[in-house]
Amino acid sequence: VPAFSCAGYAYERLWLATGESGGIRVRFSSFENWRDFAEERGGGGWIDFPDGKGRIAAIAWFENALYVFRERGIQRLDARGDERTFALRDECACARVYGQTVAVCGGRIVFLAEDGLHSFRGGGAEAFAEGFSRRLCGVPQMQPRACYAGGRYYLQADARLPGGTGRALFSLEEDGSAGHCLPGAFSWLGGYEGGAFAVYEGRLCSPEEGAAAGGLCRRRVWEGAFVPPSGGAQLRRLRVDADAGYRLRVACARGTRAFTVRKGGQQSFPVALTGSAFRLRIEAPGGCGRLRAPEAVWTYEEAEYDE
């Protein structure tokens, strides 16, 4: 696959924006073969976009069409069938688009431009989340990023804050009706398996579920090895005492068990794994509190031991 700055998959082809021709060229693969970019009739090829809208910032598949986001405008590319029938048309002009902030959010595409946040549903771009957009309009940006996860648009960008301009993480409803802003030194943002994750001061974090102020919590993880007191045995159960919610995972060569630890009081979890070496992983995805040392209950034939 040629080097590219952004990509999209549509019409059974892979589309790549490359740095060629001043960043206005899109290469496409052969039909139903995204690895083949050989330039031939019926195969792969390229399209140049030589107009005044600037470099290609992002490519997005939305409602059965491929949209090409230029630095200063949006175009629609219809590419069904043979490449001789490909058609490109202008949708709208706009201020400079930050390509890494383009994200398909349910029934719209949301993106950040130099003049603030916008949503696009075909035709023209509209103002989006205007109360938050005012904090972003005209602010010089250093690598803003966005993603869509769990029904929300997450944006890491520079913004006007009470103490001056600084980096912040925005969490917005997909229709722009509400949201939260959390100031902080965020350096990366991405979505994975329905959740949003950010890097805050060098640590991986996730937005805390149900936080009234849209707060962010660092993900705290502890992992270590432990063995039965005397050779191989069955780990019958684990007992813990916690004053916060945790995820607990225990694994050995024969399998893995995972449990959710509720906040408050002693709890017991059936494990029923047999082995001579185990690993225990404790993860705090939300607010962090104390978790007292887990107790392991082992079985050796007829005898039962606590450790």
- Over the chain (307 residues), the average pLDDT of each successive run of 10 is 89 90 89 87 85 92 92 90 81 95 95 97 92 94 94 94 90 89 88 85 69 46 80 88 81 91 83 91 66 82 58
**pLDDT value of residue 215:** 46
pLDDT of residue 211: 40
CA dihedral 251, 253, 254, 259 (to 10 degrees): 0
| pLDDT given for residue 40 in this prediction | 83
**pLDDT value for 179:** 86
pTM of the model: 0.68
Give the separation between CA 247 and CA 19, rounded to whole angstroms. Answer: 44
Residue 219's pLDDT is 55
The residue to which tokens 């906040």 are assigned: 263
The answer to whether 116 and 134 have CB atoms below 8 angstroms apart is yes
What is the model's pLDDT at position 271?
93
pLDDT value for 58: 96
Distance CA 122, CA 107 (A): 10
Rounded-to-integer distance, Cα 272 and Cα 236, Å: 5
SS3 54: coil
Q: What is the DSSP letter of 100?
A: G
Residue 261: exposed, middle, or buried by beta-carbon count in 10 A (0-12, 13-18, 19+)? buried
Q: 23 phi and psi, to 5 degrees?
A: 80, 20
Neighbours of 203 (CB within 10 A): 10
Which two tokens mark 52? 């005044």
pLDDT (0 to 100) of residue 214: 39
* Predicted pLDDT at 189: 93
Q: What is the pLDDT of residue 1?
A: 82
* Secondary structure (3-state) at 131: helix
Cβ atoms of 57 and 70 closer than 8 Å? yes
Residue 186: name the closest of 151, 221, 161, 210 by CA: 161
* 269-271-272-276 Cα dihedral, nearest 10 degrees: -130
Instruction: Provide the pLDDT for residue 209.
Output: 45
- Which pLDDT score is estimated for 55? 92
Report strand pairing: 216-218 vs 220-226. Answer: unpaired
Alpha-carbon gap, residue 27 to 137, rounded angstroms = 33
Cα of 164 vs its chain's centroid, Å: 28
Element (H, E) at 190: strand 186-192
Strands across the sheet containing 145-149: 145-149, 152-161, 164-173, 179-183
* Residue 8 identity: G
Q: Give φ, ψ of 189 to 5 degrees.
A: -150, 140
